[in-house]
């Protein structure tokens, strides 16, 4: 049995086939200039910054707009059965398209997972993290892995992701008029990321995360040895 506790320090196990080294550290990351919160220091929980929230909101909303923008429908409005007297509006430029695109947009963030092998904003990404791929692989090989939570809860949204959704909803509530103004007046000349995140949400904050992308992974791993940090669990 491999026991991987969430609130202990070192635990090292050797197996003829698999070697797992759990590296634990009580010191904060060198990439973080601010003092870590209690949640991050004790439990490894680091909530999204405003920059990360805005970046993901823009990513999802822009994807939704790209999808709805493919429609060439024409909307007719008016209080008459005579179509010639109704007002005709292209769906692509209509308010309805914006409403459709924003509907449940923050719910899509629940599809994200925390990839704690990364330290920047790309830690929020869709798909299973490297850590949990490794752990699921061990379970698939018949190795018992105990994280202190039931196996069926492993792939449920983490605390960071569920809170990310609520942060997204709050951001939309505070900047809904900004999004509408961009949609109707500034789409052709300015990206949503620039207009909303850089110029409004983060006017006094750090917008550095907006340009961060996932780096190509290099395969230097040894199949017989896997390192997993305590804070990656």
Q: What is the pLDDT of residues 45-69, one digit of tens each?
A: 899 999 999 999 999 999 999 998 8
pLDDT, residue 138, reads 78
Torsion of CA 195, 196, 201, 204, to 10 degrees: -10
Helical packing angle, 95-102 and 50-68, nearest 10°: 130
What is the extent of the structural domain holding 131?
2-214+222-232
Distances (CA, A) of 56 to 39, 124, 126, 217: 22, 8, 11, 22
Q: What is the tally of structural domains in the chain? A: 1
Torsion of CA 168, 172, 178, 179, to 10 degrees: 80
When pLDDT is cut at 50, 70 and 90, the band that residue 197 belongs to is very high
pLDDT, residue 32, reads 36
> Exposed/middle/buried for 113, CB within 10 Å: 0-12, 13-18, 19+?
buried
Residues shown for the chain: 233
When pLDDT is cut at 50, 70 and 90, the band that residue 156 belongs to is confident
Task: List, for residues 114-148, the tens digit of each pLDDT value.
Answer: 888 888 999 999 887 677 677 778 778 877 877 77
| Distant-in-sequence, close-in-space partners of 36: CB < 8 Å, separation ≥ 6 | 28, 29, 46
> What percent of the chain shows pLDDT beyond 90?
40
Tokens at residue 167, please? 């942060």
Q: In 10 A of CB 14, how many CB atoms?
A: 8
């Amino acid at each position: 049995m491999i026991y991987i506790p969430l609130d202990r320090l070192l635990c090292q196990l050797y197996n003829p086939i698999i070697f797992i080294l759990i590296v634990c550290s009580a010191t904060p990351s060198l990439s973080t200039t601010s003092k870590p919160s209690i949640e991050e220091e004790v439990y490894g929980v680091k909530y999204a910054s405003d920059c990360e929230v805005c970046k993901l909101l823009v990513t999802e909303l822009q994807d939704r707009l790209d999808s709805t923008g493919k429609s060439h429908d024409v909307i007719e409005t008016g209080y008459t059965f005579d179509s010639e007297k109704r007002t005709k509006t292209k769906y692509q430029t209509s308010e309805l398209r914006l409403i459709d695109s924003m509907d449940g947009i923050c719910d899509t963030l629940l599809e994200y997972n925390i990839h704690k092998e990364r330290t920047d904003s790309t830690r929020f990404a869709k798909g299973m993290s490297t850590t949990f791929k490794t752990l699921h692989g061990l379970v698939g090989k018949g190795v018992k892995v105990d994280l202190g939570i039931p196996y069926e809860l492993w792939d449920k949204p983490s605390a960071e992701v569920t809170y990310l959704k609520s942060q997204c909803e709050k951001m939309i509530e505070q900047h809904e008029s900004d999004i509408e103004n961009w949609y109707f007046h500034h789409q052709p000349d300015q990206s949503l990321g620039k207009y909303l995140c850089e110029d409004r949400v983060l006017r006094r904050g750090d917008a550095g995360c907006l340009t961060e992308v996932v780096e190509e992974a290099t395969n230097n791993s040894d199949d017989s040895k896997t390192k997993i940090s305590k804070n990656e669990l």
